């Protein structure tokens, strides 16, 4: 019977044997008491089976005669509730074997139940359950290997929230509406290609999560349509998508004989058109990757023509200037072009006209001229020379290599040293003023009332901008690590104490 079921259901004989053993265990418990622990062992060759009852060895249970002090001296493990149907006390177990210890199992043979009609029905249900579990596990194992790949399925069912795809082999994928292209209509029987995002194992079976809107879907399609991408000769460095409408990809190759953009476009646009058709007509712009951020942004903003770019590395932004007639083209419909270019390059892009760029540059230059003339005590001519040479702050004048200043025409060593000395003195004065201003601040009384807080620690917190109890409550342990005497444990306790009033 085991061999027949094994062949019919496509599972190993061991799974079937385990199912029958589980059925016999259930039948034995019904006959002799559901609270007992039972094990059934079937001989895999003869089909004969034996039944064993077993007990787990536990510490001796608490005696009613024990005093309160004796109970308090016992550990939590020794005070665990005792179940005589399934457990045996250590003192009793030692009578059977001197080497026994807590946690061991003691078992003895017991009468076996007959494998009759009821037992067979129970075994059948267990076998079916085991078969389903084995099928689920096989599906999960198979598709875990395919995670991150394209899979093709037939639409089986559609609802308002999801579309269920039949992937073959009893496997079903879930395509959520937010992972579908906008206005994409599918009907049962339609065959569509998707990207396998994840495999989640649940009691009702593995959940295969699919997507058609993720960036990886676009990359995998290019790997299929462009052999050079699939072989790694051309690398897709970055992707930005407005799913179903427009996308931008940046490509690069280390093989100088290959034009990466032309290879991805294909003859008469055949390759990129095949990708576009798969994604409901999504327009794909292919640009050349450049390691220089400004040049990459210029490439990404195509077809708009860039006049100038101002880079702010601290804010990680760029002001992109274009001519008035190209402004709408650079921004795109509803800001689509600049938004995709920003996502592609990783920089926040501000598109402005050439006139606005000139005005901004003039304003910024005027501010710097004012700083240099007022604080360095130089005339506007010298200030403008410094700006033209790329100096925009007192810190640069004070701390850049001296040779950079000496390379400026008309600047000798005496002038350079004087400028550097003035800049350093001003920066030092500003630092002292800032520190004095911080020292003048006093912590709020509610901060000092916290358990574990003292005046010295409160003063250190004030120095880093934490003035009140609520200021401290909003911090994390990592943010307080800059105070040397605060351990992680103490910092956590202080933060929780500061948050206590939130939960009252």
Task: Give the per-residue pLDDT at 65.
Answer: 46
296 pLDDT more than 90: yes
In which band, very low, low, confident or very high, does the pLDDT at 262 lie, cut at 50, 70 and 90? Answer: very high
Cα gap 333→323, rounded to integer Å: 17
Shared domain check, 371 and 381: no
pLDDT at 64: 47
Same domain, 277 and 302: no
* pLDDT value at residue 288: 94
Tokens 């009793």 belong to residue: 92
* Confidence tier at 248 by pLDDT (50, 70, 90): very high
CA 501 to each of CA 442, 449, 450, 475, 497: distance values in angstroms, whole numbers, following the listed order: 22, 13, 11, 15, 8
Confidence of residue 62 (pLDDT cuts 50, 70, 90): low
Confidence of residue 29 (pLDDT cuts 50, 70, 90): confident
Residue 93: Cβ within 10 Å count: 22
Can you tell me the mean pLDDT for 301-314?
84
Selected residue with higher pLDDT from 383 and 75: 383
Question: Residue 15 pLDDT more than 90?
Answer: no
Tens of pLDDT, residues 463-474: 777 888 888 888
Indicate if 384 and 352 belong to the same structural domain: no
Domain membership of residue 218 (yes or no) is no
Q: H-type helices in 37-77, by residue range?
A: 68-73
The CA distance from 383 to 373, in Å, is: 7
Domain's final residue, options 78, 102, 128: 128
Residue 234 belongs to domain spanning: 230-289
Three-state DSSP at 408 gives coil
Strand partners, 172: 166
The three-class DSSP label of residue 406 is helix
Q: Which of 153-157, 380-384, 411-415 has the highest mean pLDDT?
A: 153-157
> Rounded to the nearest 5 degrees, what angle is found at the Cα of 289, between the Cα atoms of 283 and 295?
105
Query: Phi/psi at 298 (nearest 5 deg)?
Result: -60, -40
**Are 369 and 381 in the same domain?**
no
Look at residue 459 in the predicted model and tell me its pLDDT: 79
**Residue 240 predicted with pLDDT over 90:** yes
Which domain-ending residue is among 128, 158, 177?
128
Neighbours of 145 (CB within 10 A): 9
Dihedral, 320, 321, 324, 326 alpha carbons, nearest 10? -50
CATH code assigned at 82: 3.30.1480.10
Checking if the pLDDT of 67 tops 70, the result is: no
State which H helix or E strand residue 247 sits in: strand 246-253
Are 239 and 204 in a shared domain? no
> Among residues 479, 456, 459, which one has the least CA distance to residue 467?
459
Helix, strand or coil for residue 249? strand
Q: Is residue 299 part of a domain?
A: yes
The pLDDT assigned to 287 comes to 93
**Mean pLDDT computed over every residue of the chain:** 84
Following DSSP, what letter does each residue of 306-343 receive, concatenated? EEEEEEETTTTEEEEEE-GGGHHHHH-GGGHHHHHHHH
Same domain, yes or no: 453 and 491:
yes
Q: How far is the CA of 70 from the CAs of 79, 88, 89, 92, in angstroms?
A: 11, 22, 18, 21
Q: Is residue 100 part of a domain?
A: yes
Number of domains in the chain: 6
What integer pLDDT is reported at residue 454 of this predicted model?
A: 84
Are 8 and 124 contained in the same domain? yes
Domain shared by 382 and 461, yes or no: no
318-376 confidence digits (pLDDT tens):
988 888 888 888 888 888 999 999 999 999 998 888 888 888 877 877 888 888 888 88
Query: 139 in a domain, yes or no?
Result: no
Structure token pair of residue 426 = 């001003």
Q: Residue 466 — left, alpha, or beta (φ > 0 → left; ψ -120 to 50 → alpha)? A: beta
pLDDT of residue 118: 67
Q: Are residues 362 and 380 in the same domain?
A: no
Q: Look at residue 497 in the predicted model and tell me its pLDDT.
A: 87
Residue 30, pLDDT score = 82
- Do both 181 and 298 map to the same domain? no
Q: Are residues 271 and 322 in the same domain?
A: no
Give pLDDT, residue 343.
Answer: 93
Whether residue 8 is found in the same domain as residue 119: yes
Span 130-149, average pLDDT: 83
Higher pLDDT, 170 or 241: 241
What pLDDT, on a 0 to 100 scale, did the predictor assign at position 77?
A: 46
Q: Mark which of 128, 158, 184 sits at the end of a domain.
A: 128
pLDDT for residue 107 is more than 90: no
Please list the residues that pair with 321 across neighbouring strands: 308, 352
By 3-state DSSP, what share of the chain in percent is helix, strand and coil, each rounded to 5? 50, 20, 30
Q: What is the residue whose two structure tokens read 């990359």?
A: 219
> Would you call 84 helix, strand, or coil by DSSP?
coil
pTM here is 0.62
Are 247 and 239 in contact, with CB atoms under 8 Å apart? Answer: yes
CATH number at residue 258: 3.30.300.20
H/E segment holding residue 489: helix 488-499
Looking at the domain assignment, is residue 66 inside a domain? yes
Given a cut of 80, whether residue 5 has pLDDT beyond it is no
Q: For the residues of 427-476, what is the DSSP string, one character each?
A: HHHHHHHHHHHHHH----HHHHTSTT--HHHHHHHHHTT--SHHHHHT--
Whether 142 shows a pLDDT value over 60: the answer reads: yes
The pLDDT tens digits for 424-443 are: 888 888 877 766 665 666 77
Q: Which pLDDT score, from 0 to 100, does residue 212 have?
A: 93
Q: What pLDDT band is residue 241 in, cutting at 50, 70 and 90?
A: very high
**Higher confidence at residue 205 or residue 256?**
256
- 149 in Cβ contact with 223 (< 8 Å): no
pLDDT for the residue numbered 86: 83
Residue 82 lies inside a defined structural domain of this protein:
yes
Asked, for residue 216, whether it belongs to a domain, the answer is no
**Does some domain include residue 136?**
no
pLDDT-derived band at 73, boundaries 50, 70, 90: low
């Amino acid at each position: 019977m085991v061999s027949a079921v094994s062949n019919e259901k496509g599972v190993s004989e061991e799974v079937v044997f385990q199912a029958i053993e589980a059925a016999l265990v259930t039948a034995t418990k019904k006959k002799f008491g559901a609270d007992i622990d039972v094990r059934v062992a079937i001989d895999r060759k003869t089909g004969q089976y034996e039944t064993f009852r077993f007990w787990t060895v536990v510490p001796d249970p608490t005696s009613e005669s024990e005093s309160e002090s004796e109970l308090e001296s016992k550990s939590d493990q020794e005070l665990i509730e005792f179940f005589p149907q399934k457990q045996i006390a250590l003192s009793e177990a030692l009578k059977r074997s001197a080497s026994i210890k807590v946690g061991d199992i003691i078992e003895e043979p017991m009468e076996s139940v007959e494998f009759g009609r009821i037992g067979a029905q129970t075994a059948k249900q267990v076998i079916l359950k085991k078969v389903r579990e084995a099928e689920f596990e096989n599906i999960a194992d198979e598709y875990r290997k395919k995670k991150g790949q394209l899979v093709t399925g037939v639409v089986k069912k559609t609802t308002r929230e999801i579309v269920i795809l039949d992937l073959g082999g009893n496997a079903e994928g879930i395509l959520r509406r937010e992972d579908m292209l906008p206005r994409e209509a599918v009907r049962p029987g339609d065959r569509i290609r998707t990207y396998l995002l994840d495999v989640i194992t649940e009691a009702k079976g593995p959940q295969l999560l699919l997507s058609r809107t993720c960036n990886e879907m676009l990359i995998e399609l290019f790997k299929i349509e462009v052999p050079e991408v699939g072989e790694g000769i051309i690398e897709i460095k970055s992707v930005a998508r407005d799913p179903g409408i427009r996308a931008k990809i940046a490509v690069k190759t280390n093989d100088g004989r290959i034009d990466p953009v032309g290879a991805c476009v294909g003859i008469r646009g055949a390759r990129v058109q095949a990708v576009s058709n798969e994604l409901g007509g999504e327009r794909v712009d292919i640009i050349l990757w450049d390691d220089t951020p400004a040049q990459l942004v210029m490439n990404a903003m195509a077809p708009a023509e860039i006049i100038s770019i101002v880079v702010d590395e601290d804010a990680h932004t760029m002001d992109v200037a274009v001519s008035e007639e190209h402004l709408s083209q650079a921004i795109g419909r509803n800001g689509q072009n600049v938004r995709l270019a920003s996502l592609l390059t990783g920089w926040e892009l501000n598109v402005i006209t050439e006139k606005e760029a000139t005005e901004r540059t003039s304003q910024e230059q005027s501010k710097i001229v004012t700083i240099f003339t007022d604080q360095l005590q130089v005339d506007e001519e010298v200030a403008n020379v410094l700006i033209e040479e790329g100096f925009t702050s007192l810190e640069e004048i004070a701390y850049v290599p001296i040779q950079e200043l000496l390379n400026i025409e008309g600047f000798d060593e005496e002038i350079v040293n004087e400028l550097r000395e003035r800049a350093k003195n001003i920066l030092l004065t500003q630092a002292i003023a800032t520190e004095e201003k911080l020292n003048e601040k006093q912590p709020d009384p509610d901060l000092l009332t916290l358990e574990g807080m003292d005046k010295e620690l409160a003063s250190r917190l004030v120095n880093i901008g934490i003035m009140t109890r609520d200021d401290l409550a909003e911090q994390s342990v990592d943010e307080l690590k800059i105070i040397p005497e605060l351990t992680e444990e103490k910092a956590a306790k202080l933060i929780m104490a500061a948050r206590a009033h939130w939960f009252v």
